Amino acid sequence: MSIQALSFAEPFFDVEYVENETEYFINEKSLVFNLSVNEGENIFVKTIPLLPLKGTIVWNVAVTRIKQALVVRDYDKDAKKPEFWASMKRTWPSLFDVSGFERHRGIPYYKSPQITVGGRRINFCYAAPMSPSGKHQTHTPDFDEVHAQILGFGKMQKFTENSDETFYQEVIMAPGIVHDKFYDETGYYPWHQYHSITDCVYMPIEIDR
C-alpha cells in the first residue's frame, strides 16, 4: 500500500499517486484518474466503477479498491487568482523548448516536468485559449497515449490526413475527462491533436507497449 505526494506540478497543483489501497477518503473536490490499463482493474466510487484509463471528480467520499490512481486534490482552488495562468507560463518551459518538434514551434503550450509513476509517464501541460497543439500521427519514442483534462476546457481532434480540411471527429475535454483510446491493437493512430478552448491544463499519459 502506498500514497506518494508528487511535486512535478507544484506550486500549482497538489498531486498524489495512490497504489494498492483498499480505501482512500477524499474530503475536497478532487480529480481521480484510474492509471491501470488492465481490464477489470476498476476503482470504485461507492458502488460505481471507474474503468481503467478513465477519470472523475469526487468530493467527500471514500474511493475504494485502488490498484493505481492519480489524485489531484482541490484541483481548481487557485484557478480564479489573477496571476494563476501567467505564473504557470513563467514557470514551465515552452513545449517547443522541451520537445524541439517543429509542430510545437510558436504555440502557447508550456510543459511541467515529466515523471514516471506506476509505469506511466505523465506531465501537465498549460495551453492558452484556442490554440492547436499540432497534428501528428506517430510518437517518439513509440508509445500509446491518452489525455486527461485537469482544468479548463479543450478538445481532442482527429483527421484523415495532415490538414484541417480532413477533420472528421472531436471529443470535448472537461476536468476529469479522459478520452477513449485513439490507437488500435496494432498501435496505429489517425492524425490527431489537442486543441485548447479556454486557458486550460491537460495531462498526457504515456504507456509503453
Would you state the pLDDT for residue 188?
A: 87
Would you say residue 142 has pLDDT above 80?
A: no
Residues 199 and 18: their CA atoms lie apart, in Å, by 28
CATH top-level class for 2-73?
mainly beta
Would you state the pLDDT for residue 85?
A: 97
For domain 84-207, say whether CATH 3.30.360.10 is its number: no
Q: Which of 42, 57, 26, 24 is nearest to 149 (CA)?
A: 57
Q: pLDDT of 46-101, one tens digit each?
A: 999 999 999 999 999 999 999 999 999 999 999 999 899 999 999 999 999 999 99
Would you state the pLDDT for residue 186?
A: 84
Residues 180 and 198: their CA atoms lie apart, in Å, by 21
Would you state the pLDDT for residue 187?
A: 81
Quick one: DSSP state of residue 61? E
The reply to whether the predicted model has a pTM over 0.85 is yes
Average pLDDT on 147-171 reads 98
Would you state the pLDDT for residue 55?
A: 98
Q: Using 50, 70 and 90 to split pLDDT, how confident is the model at 201?
A: very high
Residues 13 and 7: their CA atoms lie apart, in Å, by 9
Residues 153 and 52: their CA atoms lie apart, in Å, by 22
Q: Hey, what's the cell of 154?
A: 479543450
> Which residue has cell 496571476?
83
Listed by start position, the domains of the chain span 2-73, 84-207
Tell me how far apart the 2 most distant CA atoms of the chain are, in Å.
50
Quick one: DSSP state of residue 181? P
CA atoms within 13 Å, Cβ hemisphere of 185: 0
Q: Strands 115-117, 109-111: parallel, antiparallel or unpaired by DSSP?
A: unpaired
Q: At residue 6, what is the residue type?
A: L
Whether 84-207 and 2-73 are alike in CATH topology: the answer is: yes
Would you say residue 191 has pLDDT above 90?
A: yes
Would you state the pLDDT for residue 139?
A: 79
Alpha helix segments (H runs only) across the chain: 84-91, 95-99
Q: Strands 154-159, 167-173: parallel, antiparallel or unpaired by DSSP?
A: antiparallel
Would you state the pLDDT for residue 152?
A: 98
